[in-house]
Amino acid sequence: MYKIEAILQPSRLDAVKDALLEAGIEGMTILEARGHGRQKGHTEFYRGREYTVDLLPKIKLETVVQDELVEKAVSAISNAARTGKIGDGKIFLTKVDEAIRIRNDERGPTAL
Amino acid sequence: MSASSLSRRLLLLPCAALCCLPFAHALAQTTAAPAAITEARIAKLEAAAAAAQSGADNTWMLVSAALVLMMTGPGLALFYSGLVRRKNVLATMMQSFSMMAIITVLWALVSYSLAFDSGSAFIGGLHHVFLRGVGLSPDPDYAATLPLQTYMIYQLMFAIITPALITGAFAERMKFSAMCVFMVLWSLVVYSPMAHMVWGKGGLLNASLGGRFPTLDFAGGTVVHVTSGVSALVCALYLGKRVGYPREPMMPHSVVLSLVGACMLWVGWFGFNAGSALSSGPLATSAFVNTHFGAAAAAIAWGAAEWIRNGKPSALGAISGAVAGLVAITPAAGYVQPMGALAIGLIAGFFCYAMVVFVKNLFGYDDSLDAFGVHGAGGTLGAILTGIFASSAINPIFKDAKGAVLPSGAIEGNWHQVGNQAVGVAIAWALSIVGTLVLLKLVDLVIGLRVSADDEAEGLDISQHGEEGYDFAS
């Protein structure tokens, strides 16, 4: 099992969600986040004072998938999230040792 | 005045015609004592006409009083609280809201008397403490058609919003306890005397009751905006900057709240300015129109200045401009022509923008929410421009001994009025600077003005009130 963490442009969330469902991935968790990578922020003016906003609103998507679905999921996310511009985000993969369904203590990939 | 007598005459026309019928009938029956009957009937009709006039005026004035209260809460509370950081949203609202309670009690006990009792040229006497003698019959010196209590409650709403405006200067760093004490003292030492000088019987600057320097201040340009704005500057300088200003970003946490609040201020200002006609006649209409025009022109001016300088017109800029225009048109509302109102708004929008953007940053004081830049600067500008644009066709306030109308403002050749306006402004500045400085020092010694650095970092919501504006967990 792998945990997929993807940092996305908020405007791409719907497309990514649809692509993941199409790829057969049914569960996911969405977090509203702020951050930046190489992309620099923008400038805001409030009554003549200039503020540089370098932490931009992002969406963090988390999902854990079986080994054989990882590549499918990664390509679904990156294809749907890509605009080609700087700031499109990142995908991180981590190995997951165990998954437990709270309702019935089911373990392993079937608990996903 | 002319408005009420005109409408009274209009009312009397059909009444007089109706009167003639029974009169003719009575004449045919008997010629004995017809005069007495007619006299009685005319007196009855006059009383009915006066009651109708009073009813119309009183309706508008009670609505106006409610509108002006709405300017403080929620209008100003929303406008200001949107501009602070999230951790101070409730404390900022409380600073406005608490004035609605504290100043009201103070007004009933003593400060109404200090403002509107006849006294010296500078402050009212104590005959009306505990509202003694303030009943439901009119006081013709103030408003001949209104129950005196209507006048009293309407004026109270001005006394509430004025200190609330100052809170913008020391937002995010003043102790709530110190603020309450300071505002009570300020209301007694600065507001009541200034209101007395401009509007009270025998006041030094009162234009309609024969003051020494007749200053045109229709709805409180000097009394409300110059005093609050200049006192705000003194507060900002005395308290010092917020921790981290200007190094750390202190962005408004919700311009949405501010925009809603600004719109309520705009609407409430109709009560503030058009209500200051103290009647429901044409003068109220004139002030209503001018108020609206001033706000609109200034919103465009501020927005345009930002568009030119930053490439984008911001929502905060547009609403700040509207408020600046409303401030500047306040003293002029019942004296100028609509085109004069547009001009005043336009000038005020650019002027206040420059004060907030250039002058504040030049001197580096932390007038957190620009109470001085908008109210002090806009109020001063508006007071002077009133002396220029005042038109005797709108409000024939100056008359010679024979009752002939004299020119009002500089556009009619009365340049002298600009000087009188300057006197009014200078007195308001002086009283505000000295009064505020002394009171701040006093409260600082006894209570201490600022919260601790830790409390400031935690936010005033938790440190002063033990609650939070937004709880995202529940």
Comparing CB atoms, the residue among A44, A47, A52 nearest residue B356 is A47
CB B406 within 8 Å of CB B391: no
- Binary contact (A51, B249; C-beta < 8 A): yes
- Binary contact (B361, A51; C-beta < 8 A): no
Q: Given this model, what pLDDT does residue B1 score?
A: 42
Write the DSSP assignment of B398-466 as a string of letters. -B-TT-PBPP-SGGGT-THHHHHHHHHHHHHHHHHHHHHHHHHHHHHHHT-SBPPHHHHHH-HIIIIIS
Per DSSP, which regions of B220-355 are E strands?
A: none
Q: Give B252's contacts in chain A (Cβ within 8 Å).
A: 46
Q: Average pLDDT of chain B? A: 92
Q: Give A47's contacts in chain B (Cβ within 8 Å).
A: 316-317, 320, 356-357, 370
The string of pLDDT tens digits covering residues B195-210 is 999 999 999 999 888 7
* Residue corresponding to tokens 């220029």: B388
Residue A112 has pLDDT above 80, yes or no: yes
| ipTM above threshold 0.90 | no
The string of pLDDT tens digits covering residues B336-353 is 999 999 999 999 999 999
- Binary contact (B251, A47; C-beta < 8 A): no
Question: pTM for this structure?
Answer: 0.86
Q: Percent of chain B scored above 90 by pLDDT? A: 86
User: Is the minimum CB–CB distance between B354 and chain A shorter than 8 Å?
Assistant: no
Q: Given this model, what pLDDT does residue B473 score?
A: 66
The string of pLDDT tens digits covering residues B377-392 is 999 999 999 999 999 9
- Binary contact (B361, A45; C-beta < 8 A): no
Q: Given this model, what pLDDT does residue B246 score?
A: 84
* Residue corresponding to tokens 């102790």: B175
Q: Given this model, what pLDDT does residue B34 score?
A: 85
- Binary contact (B357, A47; C-beta < 8 A): yes
Q: From A53, which residue of chain B is nearest by alpha-carbon distance?
A: B249
What does the buried/exposed string (b/e) look like for B114-139 if buried means 16 or more CB atoms within 10 Å of the residue's CB? bbbbebeeebbbeebbebeebeeebb
Q: Give me the mean pLDDT over the B187-200 stretch.
A: 96
Segments in chain A forming alpha helices (H): 13-22, 70-81
Q: Give B309's contacts in chain A (Cβ within 8 Å).
A: 48
CB B424 within 8 Å of CB B215: yes
The string of pLDDT tens digits covering residues A58-68 is 999 999 999 99
- Binary contact (A47, B317; C-beta < 8 A): yes
* List of domains in chain B: 44-465 (1.10.3430.10)
CB A47 within 8 Å of CB B356: yes
Q: From B319, which residue of chain A is nearest by alpha-carbon distance?
A: A47
What does the buried/exposed string (b/e) look like for B330-341 if buried means 16 or more CB atoms within 10 Å of the residue's CB? bbbbbbbbeebb
Question: What total number of domains does chain A contain?
Answer: 1
In sequence order, what are the beta bridge partners of A92?
A5
Q: Give me the mean pLDDT over the B300-326 stretch.
A: 96
Residue B7 has pLDDT above 80, yes or no: no
Mapping DSSP to helix (H, G, I), strand (E, B) and coil, where does residue B355 land? helix
Q: Given this model, what pLDDT does residue B27 score?
A: 53
CB A93 within 8 Å of CB A74: yes
> What's A94's domain CATH number?
3.30.70.120
Task: Mean pLDDT check: name the lowest of A64-78, B186-200, B208-222.
Answer: B208-222
Q: Given this model, what pLDDT does residue B223 score?
A: 95
User: Is the minimum CB–CB distance between B248 and chain A shorter than 8 Å?
Assistant: no
The string of pLDDT tens digits covering residues B10-63 is 555 554 555 455 555 555 555 557 889 999 999 999 999 999 999 999 999 999
The string of pLDDT tens digits covering residues B91-121 is 999 999 999 999 999 999 999 999 999 989 9
In this prediction, residue B227 has a pLDDT band, given cuts at 50, 70 and 90, of very high
- Binary contact (B314, A49; C-beta < 8 A): no
In angstroms, what separates the C-alpha of A59 from chain B's closest C-alpha? 18
Maximum CA extent, chain B: 94
User: Is the minimum CB–CB distance between B130 and chain A shorter than 8 Å?
Assistant: no
Answer left, alpha or beta for residue B210, where phi above 0 means left and psi between -120 and 50 means alpha.
Answer: left
Task: Mean pLDDT check: name the lowest of B242-246, B333-337, B434-438.
Answer: B242-246
Q: Given this model, what pLDDT does residue B198 score?
A: 94
Q: Give me the mean pLDDT over the B272-278 stretch.
A: 97
The string of pLDDT tens digits covering residues B351-376 is 999 999 999 988 989 999 999 999 99
In this prediction, residue B220 has a pLDDT band, given cuts at 50, 70 and 90, of very high
The string of pLDDT tens digits covering residues A14-43 is 999 999 999 999 899 999 999 888 777 788
Q: Percent of chain B scored above 70 by pLDDT? A: 93
In this prediction, residue B9 has a pLDDT band, given cuts at 50, 70 and 90, of low
Range of the domain at A21: 2-111
